[in-house]
Amino acid sequence: MIKVGVLGARGRMGAEVCRAVEGAADMELAAAVDQGDERDALTAAEVVVDFTHPGVVMENLRWCVEHGLHSVVGTSGFDPARLDEVRGWQAGRPDGNVLIAPNFGIGAVLMMHFAEKAAPFFESVEVVELHHPKKVDAPSGTAYRTAELIAAARAAAGVPASPDATTSELDGARGTDVEGVRVHAVRLSGAIAHQEVLLGGHGELFTIRHDSMNRESFMPGVLLAVRKVGGLDERLTVGIESLLGL
C-alpha cells in the first residue's frame, strides 16, 4: 500500500487526485494539505503529489526533498534553472526522487511524442494551447515542453527556423518564442486543457490535437507516476514518457 500525500488538496486538480488515490486499491491517502495547513502532515506519506501554484511549488518541493519524500509534480513553471535548483537539493541525499510532468494525460504525452517525431519533416511548425481563464501561467507547461521537444528535434536534424516574413506586428500577435518555436496561448471560458501542434509543408498541413474534457483524464498518468517514482533510476525525471516506454 503506497501512502500518498497531496499538496493543493482543495484545488480543482488536487481534489481530483485525492479522489483517485482513495479509489486506487494499492494506495492510501495519508495527508491532504492546502494553503494554511502545516506541511508536517505529509511526513505520514511516502509519495507527495503537488498541484499547487508556480509561486509556491519550489518551496514545497524543497521541503519534500529535505524530508526524503518522493514527489510527483503537476504544477507548471519549471524552466531549466528551476530543474537545476532541484538537482542541487537532491545532491548528497539518498532519498527523494522527483518526477515533474508538464502533462499527465496519456493522450497529451503521445501528442508531444508524435509532434517531436514529425517536426523535422515540415518546414513550419507552431503550437496553440487553449485553457480555462483561471489558469495563471501562459503558455502552459505542456505547450512549453512541446516547443522544447520540437526545437531539439529540428536542431538535431539540421532543419532551419520556420519561415516568417513578419516585420510589423502588434505586441504578442505572433505569440511567444520558445527556442525558435512560436507558441500561442488562448484563455477561454468552457475550455479545460487543449493543444494543437500545426505543421506545414509543401502543399500540406498536418495537425496533431489533444483535448482533455475533464480533470479525471489526467488521473491514470498521475497514479502511474505515484507507483513508479520511488523506483526510478534518475533522481529527477521530467515527463512520464519513460514510464510509458516511449
Q: Could you list the active site residues? A: 131, 135
DSSP code of 230?
A: G
Based on its alpha-carbon atoms, the radius of gyration of the chain, rounded to whole angstroms, reads 19
CA dist 146 → 34, 105, 202 (Å): 30, 14, 23
Closest CA to 142 of 75, 206, 81: 75
CA dist 245 → 66, 89, 94, 106, 109 (Å): 30, 28, 26, 12, 11
The answer to whether the beta carbons of residues 121 and 153 sit under 8 Å apart is no
Q: How far apart are CA 189 and CA 184, in angstroms?
A: 17
Q: How far apart are CA 212 and CA 228, in angstroms?
A: 23
First to last CA, the chain: 27
C-alpha cell at 53: 501554484
Specify which residues 131 forms β-bridges with.
187, 193
Angle between helices 219-228 and 106-118 (to 10 degrees): 90
Q: How far apart are CA 155 and CA 149, in angstroms?
A: 10
Specify which residues 209 forms β-bridges with.
196
Q: How far apart are CA 4 and CA 150, in angstroms?
A: 34
